[in-house]
Chains A and B, each alone.
Chain A
Amino acid sequence: EIVMTQSPATLSVSPGERATLSCRASQSVISNLAWYQQKPGQAPRRLIYGASTRATGIPARFSGSGSGTEFSLTISSLQSEDFAVYYCQQYNKWPRTFGQGTKVEIK
């Protein structure tokens, strides 16, 4: 199966600052990559699909980039509601696999 590795495990950022999260695939997933946000006690929420397309209703401060094996999610100016855990997920091959998550916490 394709292993997804996210880094860093935890990212400490001040509100208003930029955050960049990384996701690496063990083999090419082309652009078949999605990002999700999960807050404590809540279900995940989709943010990005196709590596760089924002899902409906997602603010423009969230952007995704990359292809092949290297991907990133950037939050341009962190708002209080953005502190959460973020997961990447490949859907190029079954089984679909998730990264282990990056927790974005308040610095």
Chain B
Amino acid sequence: QVQLVESGGGLVKPGGSLRLSCEASGFTFNDFYMSWIRQAPGKGLEWVAYISFYGTTIDYAGSVMGRFTISRDNAKNSLYLQMNSLRAEDTAVYYCANERGGWLDSWGQGTLVTVSS
């Protein structure tokens, strides 16, 4: 069955960096756009970034533009999110998900990123 497993979260100081990973299995990875979505504690969902099948199309939410970079390695069935210049407001659970035409089909269990001094 489809499985998405995020890793790489943790505690980081403001201004620091983290790289999140999402390992996919159970489906043909390069047949799907992939996305990162986040959820601040007790809050709603925010789409962070998405990437097309081979990485030719990428877009970001305005709140992370210029600080975060989404990428993928289809040979490793993996999705990444490089997060730089982290701020307190980036504290959230980060989910990866595969996308079908704009809606999110399968989701990982999430990884918590905490930005605090």
Interface, chain A (partner B; CB < 8 A): 1, 32, 34, 36, 42-46, 49, 55, 87, 89, 91-92, 94-101
Asked whether B104 lies within 8 Å of A46 as measured between CB atoms, the reply is yes
- Interface membership of B31, Cβ < 8 A: no
* Cβ-closest 7 pairs across A and B: A91-B102, A34-B103, A43-B107, A49-B103, A96-B47, A98-B45, A100-B44
Band of interface residues on B: 20 to 34
Chain A nearest Cβ from B107, distance in angstroms: 4
Task: Tell me if B44 and A36 are in contact (CB < 8 A).
Answer: no
B59 near A98 (CB under 8 angstroms)?
Answer: no
Specify the main secondary structure of chain B where it touches its partner. Answer: strand
Contacts A43-B107, A43-B109, A49-B103; A95 near B61 (Cβ below 8 A): yes
Q: Total A-B residue pairs with C-beta atoms closer than 8 Å?
A: 53
Cross-chain contact of A97 among B47, B103, B108 (Cβ < 8 A) = B47
**Closest residue of B by beta carbon distance from A97:** B47
Q: Which B residues between 90 and 117 are near A, CB-CB below 8 angstroms? A: 95, 100-105, 107-110
* Also in contact, A89 and B44, with CB within 8 A (given A43-B95, A43-B109, A95-B62): no
B102 cross-chain contacts in A, Cβ below 8 A: 32, 34, 91-92, 96
Please give, as numbers and ranges, the residues of chain A lying within 8 Å of B103 by CB-CB distance: 34, 46, 49, 89, 91
A interface secondary structure, majority: loop
Q: Is the CB of B44 within 8 A of A101?
A: yes
What per-residue 1/0 map shows which CB atoms of B42-81 lie under 8 Å from chain A? 0011110010000000010110000000000000000000
B residues adjacent to A (C-beta < 8 A): 35, 44-47, 50, 59, 61-62, 95, 100-105, 107-110
In the complex, are the beta carbons of A99 and B44 less than 8 A apart? yes
Complex Cα distance, B101 from A92, in Å, reads 10
